[in-house]
Structure 1
Amino acid sequence: MTTPITLYRTPKSGHCHRVELMLAFLGRPYETVDLDMANGAHKAPEFLRLSPFGLVPAIDDGGYTLADSNAILIYLVQRYAKGSHWLPEAPKDAAEVQRWLTIAADNIYAGPCAARLVKVFGTSHDHAASVTKAHALFGIMEAHLTGRDWLATQAITVADVAAYSYIAHAPEGGVDLEGYPNIRTWLGRIEAQPNFVPMARSPIPETA
């Protein structure tokens, strides 16, 4: 019997969801441990041994522990689907995937992720600035997706998985996707993949 991978998470985190989505797409058995972060479970000594910075997600794969969502995506594909379309080895394709992983960690975090953090979790990010950054990103992505199905290559890759969660849930942060038909079609392609698992949704804030 295959030992399931343990995913330490908080259910409404897009960073955690991208890891769960990757696990599901790869067909790997996993179990989730939801941390009570409001009461400091992510700062408890036993969790800091898994994730020294006290951040989710983190995984335990048969005793090997790793934190950081994008690093986990790479690990999972390298271990369980090496040589597949998820992480291409051709230099140009690999570079395109890496570029979108960087965008996920930078532009997506600063835009739709930060805007949602304000509305869903009440953080102190500058909401107006985050919304502006989200729309700037989406304008570029909308053009990029013209005539293509996926972000990095001609097949779905970890780049699409890393980008999906916060963009799909951007309306929860007050960022409307109505004006981006290519993005919405791309989201639909991901949601149509076998074994897709959704992230828990939060109410969409009213706009003036």
Structure 2
Amino acid sequence: MLSLLGLEHEIIRVDLIVGEQKSAEFLKLNPFGQVPVLIDGKLVLRDSQAILVYLARQYGGESWLPSEPEAMGKVLQWLSTAANESQNSLSAARRFFLLGTPIDLEGAQQKARYTLEVIDKHLLNRDWLETNHPTIADIACYPYIELASDAQIVLEAYPQVSAWVTRIKQLPLYVAMPGF
């Protein structure tokens, strides 16, 4: 999102495998010991959805997060999808394969496929999750979906989702995140 907004920024990697997110220094930034954390001047903000809302409002203008109630509600529902359905399916299965995190793998993958089916149907007659241009809804859902192969989920089974992923990668100023 920082790149899409054309904002200068520094990425500081946190080694999750060695537990750097649980260090005393990091816990001062986020007492939950989770990434990401955004530091913008004196503001320290945790949680990817909160960070997206802040960046959209502070730097992105109306296009990234509409202020009209209906459009805003529709965008924000996708932030909940990213934080719930995607996190508890695609992200959980990815953590299983990459980090050995114990989960109900079959259940997570089944939920991931269902989530992708819902999104694929939603994208049938539209280019973006909501509105006629990308919003933070797209940015919130994108990382989990782009990394679906790490969860042993094949995106080719979801043609609308695959086309949407390609559109996101073609956005001006798009920069792939580490891990892509």
TM-based fold match above 0.5: yes
Q: What is the TM-score with the length of structure 1 in the denominator?
A: 0.83
Match of 2:68 among 84, 90, 99: 90
Q: Does 1:152 align with 2:130?
A: yes
Matches of 1:129 and 1:109, distance apart in 2 = 13
Matching residue of 1:18: none
Please report how far the alpha carbon of residue 161 of structure 1 lies from its aligned counterpart in structure 2 after TM superposition: 0.1
Matches of 1:81 and 1:46, distance apart in 2 = 30
Q: Does 1:46 align with 2:25?
A: yes
Aligned counterparts, 1:26-41, within 5 A: 26-41=5-20
User: Match for 1:98: what amino acid?
Assistant: L
Matches of 1:104 and 1:41, distance apart in 2 = 24
Matches of 1:108 and 1:98, distance apart in 2 = 14
Matches of 1:41 and 1:169, distance apart in 2 = 22
Please report how far the alpha carbon of residue 29 of structure 1 lies from its aligned counterpart in structure 2 after TM superposition: 0.5
Q: What is the TM-score with the length of structure 2 in the denominator?
A: 0.95
Q: Does 1:59 align with 2:38?
A: yes
Matches of 1:28 and 1:38, distance apart in 2 = 29
Aligned counterparts, 1:86-165, within 5 A: 86-165=64-143
Match of 1:74 among 23, 41, 53: 53
Q: Does 1:176 align with 2:154?
A: yes
The farther-off stretch of 70-79 and 193-202 is: 193-202
For the residue of structure 2 that corresponds to 1:42, the secondary structure is helix
Aligned pairs, number: 180
For the residue of structure 2 that corresponds to 1:34, the secondary structure is coil
Over the residues paired in the alignment, what is the CA RMSD in angstroms? Answer: 1.2
User: Match for 1:33: what amino acid?
Assistant: I
Please report how far the alpha carbon of residue 197 of structure 1 lies from its aligned counterpart in structure 2 after TM superposition: 1.3
Please report how far the alpha carbon of residue 37 of structure 1 lies from its aligned counterpart in structure 2 after TM superposition: 2.7
User: Match for 1:138: what amino acid?
Assistant: L
Larger strand share, 1 or 2: 1
Matching residue of 1:13: none
Q: After superposition, what is the alpha-carbon deviation per residue over 1:117-176, rounded to whole angstroms, capped at 9, x for unaligned? A: 111121112111111001111111111101100002111000000000110110111011
Matches of 1:154 and 1:146, distance apart in 2 = 13
In structure 1, the gaps of 5 or more residues are 1-21, 203-208
Matches of 1:38 and 1:116, distance apart in 2 = 14
Matches of 1:37 and 1:111, distance apart in 2 = 20
Matching residue of 1:6: none
